[in-house]
Amino acid sequence: MIAPGTIPEVSPLLDEDMRKQIGDVFSKLHQDVWLLTIVDLKDEKCVELASLLKDMERQGEKVHVELYEPGENLSLEEDLTDGGHLPALGIYREGHVYTGQSFLGVPGGKELNSLLIALYNTAGTGQAMEDQVKKRIQAIDKPVNIEVFVSLACHHCAQMVISCLRMAALNPGIRAQMVDANLFPDYVKKYGIERVPMTVINDAHTLMGGKSLEEVLDFIEKTV
């Protein structure tokens, strides 16, 4: 385990106004929810993410942060790192039950919105959604792995991440991951990422640009 005090609990990424807004979101949560991350202390992005999460944890009662060293929790690494990519963060329910929602990279820029909304959708009332849409998401019976490649400044990306994570939260067979492509040149090269958001489903089907949740759902139903 990472020794207490190793990670700064005040993140330079947040200011008081943001902390208040985070606290407002957390006050709307009625279930406990866990943010698990693997921290390689030699990697400054890992430390930056851990610090952001520890700072966020202080803004409410329901959000719990657990930090693991590399090699300490292999099932967590299996869930999140796609073969060793760090920093990585996953959203879990009580008893370390994985919700299928994760982030590779530090959710700065617009992506802090994605993380907060994902927590609200997981442990709070959640955003309004038509029953019919929810049923369609839950009816998907094949494994779906969604990677949403973003840049933190992209204003179309967060909505895409929110939609895909939402689907993962509603169906245990769906996993969705935000990936800050700027941190991972191997993905940029592998998928030829020149524009964002670029969404890759099951390593095979590509969706370019921001789409509504229903459009993503249509695409998955058609292609997977």
- 97 is written with which tokens? 């039950």
Residue type at position 184? F
- Stretch near other proteins under the rule CB under 8 A, chosen from 61-69, 92-100, 137-145, 205-213: 205-213
Residue 153 is a binding residue for other proteins (CB under 8 A): yes
Stretch that binds other proteins, among 76-84, 88-96, 138-146, 150-158 (CB under 8 A): 150-158
CA distances from 93 to 32, 37, 64, 119, 208 (A): 7, 14, 10, 10, 31
**Site pattern 164..203 for other proteins (x: CB under 8 A):** -----------------xx--x--x----xxxxx------
- Beta pairing partners, 146: 176, 201
* Choice from 8, 9, 13, 73 touching other proteins (CB under 8 A): 13
φ and ψ at residue 150, rounded to 5 degrees: -135, 165
Residue closer to other proteins by CB (options 38, 118) is 118
Q: Which is nearer to other proteins, 110 or 175 (CB)?
A: 110
Report which of 10, 55, 57 is spatially closest to residue 29, judged by C-alpha positions. Answer: 57
- Evaluated on CA atoms 73, 76, 82, 85, the torsion sign reads negative
Binding footprint of other proteins, residue count (CB under 8 A):
42
**Contact with other proteins (CB under 8 A) among 26, 34, 92, 120:** 120
Q: How far is the CB of 183 from other proteins (least distance, A)?
A: 8
Are the C-beta atoms of residues 154 and 197 closer than 8 Å to each other?
yes
Q: Taking the C-alpha atoms of 80, 93, 220 and 182 in order, what is their torsion angle to the nearest 10 degrees?
A: -40
State the nearest-atom distance from the C-beta of 113 to other proteins, in Å: 6
- The residues that touch other proteins, with contacts defined as CB under 8 A, are 13-14, 18, 21-22, 25, 28, 45, 48, 106-113, 116-117, 120, 127, 151-157, 162, 181-182, 185, 188, 193-197, 208-211
